[in-house]
Amino acid sequence: MSYSNEEKAMWLEDWQKSGKKAWSYALENGLIPQTFLKWTKAGIKTKQDFVEVRPVAGGMNHALQITIEKGDIKIHLPICATSNDLSTIIECLRVAI
């Protein structure tokens, strides 16, 4: 079956939100895993161009942050960011580059 770029972007956005491995997500959604993996590596842009990570309200560490720098890119994360937050940010960067 052939999918438009819009359909591929929809599948990729849903997969990113799911937090699942690409192979598992494809199988669970009736997609061919090898094809879906190609989509994830093809750099198809999704609607998720920006990821906001908010500090936990009332947390003691809300003002503390981690800064990740690579070239002219700076990512500021609150110290209380979860591994899920970081995974989402990394995936968005991987798709955007």
Distance of CA 11 to the CA centre of its chain: 12
96 and 53 in a single domain? The answer is yes
Closest CA to 53 of 21, 27, 92: 92
Q: Is 26 within 8 Å of 36 (Cβ atoms)?
A: yes
Q: Which residues contact 49 (CB under 8 A, 6 or more apart)?
A: 92, 96
How many domains does the chain contain in total?
Answer: 2
* 96 and 56 within one domain: yes
* C-alpha to C-alpha distance for 38 and 42, rounded to whole angstroms: 6
pLDDT digits (tens, 9 = 90+) for 8-44: 989 998 998 999 999 999 999 999 999 999 988 876 5
pLDDT of residue 46: 46
Tally Cβ neighbours within 10 Å of residue 26: 21
Are 58 and 80 part of one and the same domain?
yes
What global pTM score does this model have? 0.45
Domain extent for 60: 49-97
Q: Are residues 4 and 41 in the same domain?
A: yes
> Using one digit for the tens of pLDDT, what is the confidence trace for 46-93?
444 555 656 555 555 556 887 877 777 777 778 787 888 778 777 777
Does residue 36 share a domain with residue 5? Answer: yes
Say yes or no: 38 and 4 in one domain. yes
Q: Are residues 15 and 59 in the same domain?
A: no
Task: Indicate if 42 and 59 belong to the same structural domain.
Answer: no
